[in-house]
Structure 1
């Protein structure tokens, strides 16, 4: 299966999608489809910088690369088009791929506007192709353990979800930034709400229920940053987003997402879920739980030092061999998508799911601008 991979000279595209997913699947001998057939992924690198593409292809022994996207899409031997470009370039490229009849898989957000993202989903439906959007957080060991608790009824009625995500991204003046400068320019599709609200949409939907209303506050805490060449620029995109999401069924989720926060927690992403029967705290890899029957009875007394070690009162949730421990989350979803392209079957991580994420980010920005709660309708094709 030949896969045109556009945008893999960037950090995320190269590390997670090319090296740790597609090339890793090749190193494992391909994907056994269970019928005596092995699916062998063949990457074809696509991008704008021929020098970078040539170096990357030579480093990994990849035979084909090109800067001509139109030629790739016109090639009947290309089965799948994958896009990990900057967001502003994605919608146009995906439209061209769908018009060429290619199956498509892409990073999120799928477009800069909800109208554009929903339009892509409709084009894919009309083209009759298979399509997918990266929803990697669902395949992390910590969240897979959390899902097992939810599916098993551990929480009872879920009351609330509290999410903390982020870290300090250096401004780029005296220490280099860990993220590209376009992330901090709204005119280039940047902003943490555009980046992270699509994640929170699918995490909440898949584990606890769809978001039915949002109230958010978006902030640009650091107004001046320095780009990759050391030049100062005005940060016009939000670097922090504080959101309250009301879920179907009555649960309330609160997410703080920030690139201007210093980490004082076990992992860069941490979720706490509280229910009538139990609670759990999950990160990228770990998950700890406390059942109703084992919940201590804390007493508030600010006049005395705390004698309880609260973290020790929680039990580690085991992987039990089904939590994907030791498996890259991106690779896990790549394998599922390529199987879907090859043999079909149910698949819900599609361009409509991608549109829901863009919708939530767009409504979050509107909520912040207007200072009010906004209902989130269910998208329809």
Structure 2
């Protein structure tokens, strides 16, 4: 039996919506079916993905500025002093890690023949940077399981706190634009041509990538009366295909059901399901079928929402980024709705939540779902009393 709970005492996010809780949550609350497409048109007029609004002199400056900012703000939110910061075990989840730095150094080398073609081999330097930044006495752990990277990092950190192995953790999710990733998704013909994110919708035509960086602080004691805590998680490897999920939805269903069983919860105890909802044809089908199976088993429905229409698909960082976004909104008294949905696909037996869910001072249990290339699927439940 667990001797501790893992509480999320600090959260921060820097994404296309901004970098302060007020500007991020204000924009989320203001977007609706009437102004969503105008918002996207204005944003994508500059770049064809959900991008940070700021400019940086180099990719290296961008990476470290983002990391510095979100870590500092999460630590401030958790009210950690220097001694407490040293107790932070560090967990990093990402798909691209620092690929953008190597792209930059390679371009510089080709043009000038100066320096090295690749400045970094491996990504241990990111862990070392965070160890120095926080003065942590722990060695950092890096997670790279495609789109479940940072949620798996969060689950692992939470279990270590529950078991008393560590008392505090910093979980970082980071995904910044790089041409390698963008070209990869383009070659698979997964990118949206309409530049409108429409998860589960019959007009959905693919993924829109996003960049963002977030940090979550976990502790074995709460710091605020409305702190969420880790309830459970389940991870399953779907061996159907390297790049697609089993369209029957059974592995995704088993993951969600497994998280409910581990938490000793019934589906009617869940206030909201945050779907992975990438908008790809395969994900629309497999996840919709998985949710149908879940609703059939428990003879009830739970509200479903999707967050990628707000911030794009941030790949390995999507776990941290989307959980941070949800927590920031919950502190403002609402949970985000789904944008871009009009009429569901033939598999979609439910209507995603169309309006923000008011949750001020309410107990909550939220199931977060993430599905990755390679078949890695994770469901995680967070709650507050």
TM bin (shorter chain): under 0.3
| Larger RCO, structure (CA 8 Å, separation 6 or more) | 2
- Compute the TM-score of the two structures, normalised by the length of structure 1: 0.27
Q: Which has the higher strand share?
A: 1
Give the number of the structure whose alpha-carbon radius of gyration is greater.
1
